[in-house]
Amino acid sequence: MKQAIAYQENAGGIVALLPDGRVEFLHPAIKPLAERMVRGELAPGDVDFDEYILTDPLVDLENFHLSAPAIAFIETTNLCNLKCKHCYAWSGKKREGELSKAQIIDLIDEFAEMGVLQVFLTGGELFAHPNAVELINYAMTKPFSTQVFTNGLLISEEKIAALTPGVSFFISFDTANPTRTIRGKMDFPMLRQCFEWFEKYGHAYRTAISVHRYNLDDVEEIFEWCARMGFPRPQWLETHPIGRALLHPDIVLQPPDIDRVFDIYRRCMDRYSEAPAPELATPGEVQGRPQERLYSVDTIKFCQRLERATGREKCGRSVVYVNSVTARFISVISSRIQVGVSSIPKCSDESRVRSSGAGLRPPWTRPARFGLLPPIAQTPIIGPRRPISSAR
């Protein structure tokens, strides 16, 4: 169990990742307790967070931004053992001026201080980075939830054994038939081996499939294969037309594919949502018995709620992706966040706490004068990607 919760101060209250994986708006009265957790004087398990949940925080939806990202991706390297056709990061070779280990450590510190709730360590291939284990273990010391994206092929038992138990892995593959892969290489025995090591050393894991035109017909088979093997249900990602995928427009899903994509998506979710360990774990919760103690980390759902309420894609700041190219903007973002934090209006006494029994509306329901936004799945102008994401 983590010693502290990840939280950030926002207009309307404190947004926190709770020990059970929920992301909620809390009454500011939680702050002294949260600080005591940081100092190690109080354990998260000793606090009844439900008492502090704001069901209807007073927020100016038109101008609301999180004071820090809810989710941060750190591209630790662009070096990769594969050169997948669809790779948005165009990975393979290192980028010029890649982030140094010290810079990545600084970023991790900065994200923790800002109150980022969930950090994805990604690449390129993280396990191609000489300091992969050290970086993951450093991130695991922080209150945020640490997730690792990997293709799994460079993993060894030694590396997995050296990690602090409770890392959450996304391990990517894209076909049930290795001869049809666009990833360059597939290695099912290695994949299974990784899963065994994750379980043996107390880590959570989940597969990730980037769905594209050439594996759309494989997707149900992949879900079925995972279920048969007792592996977690895959995370469905749609292949976006960016990075190297632009060189291969034939792989990207097209408007005529939409109906089929939805049908397949729905069938996969209907049939396989009950597959073992479908969700990610909060670090520290899985040691010993990973399958039984997993629960979801609701950061993405939280961001979607925010999008729906504010009507703004990613609500300005809910997600950040940092690599050597974008890192130079981070100091600018940070300074804005500093300003934002100092000018955050205090949560008024009128803010309602769930225990008071008042206000059961979900946070950020739009004021009546703006009208309720239609659920994302019914928003026609957004195209096919959002409905799929919203239902994950």
Ligand X SMILES: C[S@@+](CC[C@H](N)C(=O)[O-])C[C@H]1O[C@@H](n2cnc3c(N)ncnc32)[C@H](O)[C@@H]1O
**Interacting residue ranges for ligand X, rule: CB under 6 A:** 80, 86-89, 122-123, 125, 149-151, 172, 208, 210, 237, 239-240, 242-243, 245
167, 212, 81, 154: CA torsion to nearest 10:
30
Residues 361, 365, 370, 376: is their CA dihedral positive or negative? negative
Residue 182 makes contact with ligand SF4 by CB under 6 A: no
CB 101 within 8 A of CB 374: no
The one of ligand SF4, ligand X, none whose footprint includes residue 245, by CB under 5 to 8 A per kind, is: ligand X
The one of ligand X, ligand SF4, none whose footprint includes residue 150, by CB under 5 to 8 A per kind, is: ligand X
CB 1 within 8 A of CB 16: no
**Rounded Cα gap, residues 110 and 334, in angstroms:** 9
| DSSP letters for 322-346 | E-TTTHHHHHHHHHHHHHHHHTPPP
Of 47 and 119, which has the nearer Cβ to ligand X?
119
Residue 89 makes contact with ligand SF4 by CB under 6 A: yes
Question: Which range binds ligand SF4 by CB under 6 A, 121-129, 160-168, 230-238, 278-286?
Answer: 121-129
CB 34 within 8 A of CB 16: yes
Of 208 and 344, which has the nearer Cβ to ligand X?
208
For residue 64 the two structure tokens come to 């609301």
Q: Within positions 150 to 179, which residues make up the interface with ligand SF4, using CB under 6 A?
A: 151
CB 239 within 8 A of CB 198: no
Residue 87 makes contact with ligand SF4 by CB under 6 A: yes
Determine the size of the site formed for ligand SF4 (CB under 6 A).
Answer: 12
Per CB under 6 A, the list member of 10, 67, 77, 91 interacting with ligand SF4 is 91
**Rounded Cα gap, residues 148 and 166, in angstroms:** 11
CB 236 within 8 A of CB 81: no
Nearest CA-CA partner of 16 in 324, 121, 28: 28
**Rounded Cα gap, residues 188 and 190, in angstroms:** 5
Residue 2 makes contact with ligand SF4 by CB under 6 A: no
Per CB under 6 A, the list member of 26, 54, 68, 82 interacting with ligand SF4 is 82
Of 65 and 385, which has the nearer Cβ to ligand X?
385
CB of 298 to ligand X, least distance (A): 20
Of 95 and 312, which has the nearer Cβ to ligand SF4?
95
Residue 191 makes contact with ligand SF4 by CB under 6 A: no
**Rounded Cα gap, residues 174 and 221, in angstroms:** 11
Q: How many CB atoms sit inside 10 A of residue 63's CB?
A: 9
For residue 332 the two structure tokens come to 């600018």
**Which residue number has the CB closest to ligand X?**
172
The one of ligand SF4, ligand X, none whose footprint includes residue 83, by CB under 5 to 8 A per kind, is: ligand SF4
Per CB under 6 A, the list member of 69, 124, 363, 387 interacting with ligand SF4 is 124
Residues 268, 384, 280, 365: is their CA dihedral positive or negative? negative
The one of ligand SF4, ligand X, none whose footprint includes residue 208, by CB under 5 to 8 A per kind, is: ligand X
DSSP H or E run through 26:
strand 23-26
Of 237 and 337, which has the nearer Cβ to ligand X?
237
Tokens 């949940």 sit at which residue?
Answer: 53
Residue 83 makes contact with ligand SF4 by CB under 6 A: yes
Question: Which range binds ligand SF4 by CB under 6 A, 22-30, 79-87, 215-223, 311-319?
Answer: 79-87
Q: How many CB atoms sit inside 10 A of residue 263's CB?
A: 10
Of 8 and 172, which has the nearer Cβ to ligand X?
172
The one of ligand X, ligand SF4, none whose footprint includes residue 67, by CB under 5 to 8 A per kind, is: none
**Rounded Cα gap, residues 33 and 17, in angstroms:** 14
Per CB under 6 A, the list member of 125, 174, 218, 285 interacting with ligand SF4 is 125
Residues near ligand SF4 (CB under 6 A) are 80, 82-84, 87, 89, 91, 123-125, 151, 183
